[in-house]
A and B are shown apart, each in its own frame.
Chain A
Amino acid sequence: MRSVILSLLGCVLTVTLAGCATFEPPKPWERGNLARPEMQFDYDRLDAKTQQHIYTSKEAASGGYGVGGGGCGCN
């Protein structure tokens, strides 16, 4: 019984994972939606500033937040 359940689970996992195989990340020219302001991590300036301030004070370290992205893969 246990092995039946396990192989069934295996089948389900296989089918779900196969779905991942067809996934392709958006091409450089398809990143219009990703480049929208609301898609940025720091969309809300004030919120980002507060978060960063808390992070800096808690971690006692600052800097290294990566680069600002436009989603175009060019910077």
Chain B
Amino acid sequence: MNCLRPLASLLLPVAALAAALVAAPVAATEAGQPAPAFALPNAKGDTFVLERMRGKVVYVDFWASWCGPCRRSFPWMNEMQQKYGARGLVIVGVNVDKKRSDADRFLAQIPANFTILFDEAGATPAAYGVKGMPSSYVIDTRGNVTFVERGFLDESRAVLEQKIADALAAAKI
């Protein structure tokens, strides 16, 4: 067993180094924090800049064609955009597919009547520290996140809608 000693002394620092490298996660954006800025292209190639939406309530949703709950969230987001759009709600769906054709196929099946942006590089979800797909952020008129939703469950639709309505109501005061 003596022969294992040099091995152990070699491996311990390596293990420590590995642990240090892994334990460096990006801080996730939580409610109460300013929303990380982004500027992303839409299908036409026009750039959407989040800062220009100050004064409006923005609902940012990170989605992908391969994500099941995203599929169910689209009709709901269409409904929300229709219901609250006139009151100043802007729904933004940020697509994180690596292949644009996957996103296009999804959109052909489930049309979206809100803003769709494309981030193939994944820089925006990284900036937001997205922990699961889909992830949604309610951003108030001053650019602060007021609510974060991870996943999309049918039973949390009412809560989400209330959070959007709250942000819109707060904007009027």
Query: In the complex the two chains form, is A72's CB within 8 Å of B17's CB?
Result: no
- Chain A residues in 8 Å Cβ range of B85: none
Given contacts A18-B17, A29-B125, contact A74 B7 (CB under 8 A): no
Query: In the complex the two chains form, is B10's CB within 8 Å of A28's CB?
Result: no
Query: In the complex the two chains form, is A27's CB within 8 Å of B67's CB?
Result: no
Query: In the complex the two chains form, is B14's CB within 8 Å of A18's CB?
Result: yes
Q: Secondary structure of the A side of the interface? A: helix
Distance, CA A39 to CA B77, complexed state (A): 29
Distance, CA A21 to CA B123, complexed state (A): 23
Question: Which among B14, B67, B126 is the interface contact of A74 at CB below 8 angstroms?
Answer: B67
- Chain B residues in 8 Å Cβ range of A27: 122, 125-126, 130
Query: In the complex the two chains form, is A75's CB within 8 Å of B151's CB?
Result: yes
| Nearest CB of B to A74, in Å | 4
**A side interface size, CB within 8 A:** 29
**B side interface size, CB within 8 A:** 36
Distance, CA A13 to CA B14, complexed state (A): 10
Question: Which among A3, A11, A31 is the interface contact of B66 at CB below 8 angstroms?
Answer: A31
- Chain A residues in 8 Å Cβ range of B152: 74
| Nearest CB of B to A39, in Å | 10
Is B98 an interface residue when CB atoms closer than 8 A count as contact?
yes
Distance, CA A75 to CA B71, complexed state (A): 14
Given contacts A21-B14, A74-B151, contact A29 B64 (CB under 8 A): yes
Query: In the complex the two chains form, is B22's CB within 8 Å of A24's CB?
Result: yes
Among B44-52, B110-118, B131-139, B159-167, the one that faces the other chain is B131-139
Is A42 an interface residue when CB atoms closer than 8 A count as contact?
no
Query: In the complex the two chains form, is B132's CB within 8 Å of A74's CB?
Result: yes
Closest Cβ neighbor of B124 among chain A residues: A29
Distance, CA A36 to CA B22, complexed state (A): 27
Distance, CA A35 to CA B97, complexed state (A): 12
- Chain B residues in 8 Å Cβ range of A30: 96, 98, 122
Is A2 an interface residue when CB atoms closer than 8 A count as contact?
yes
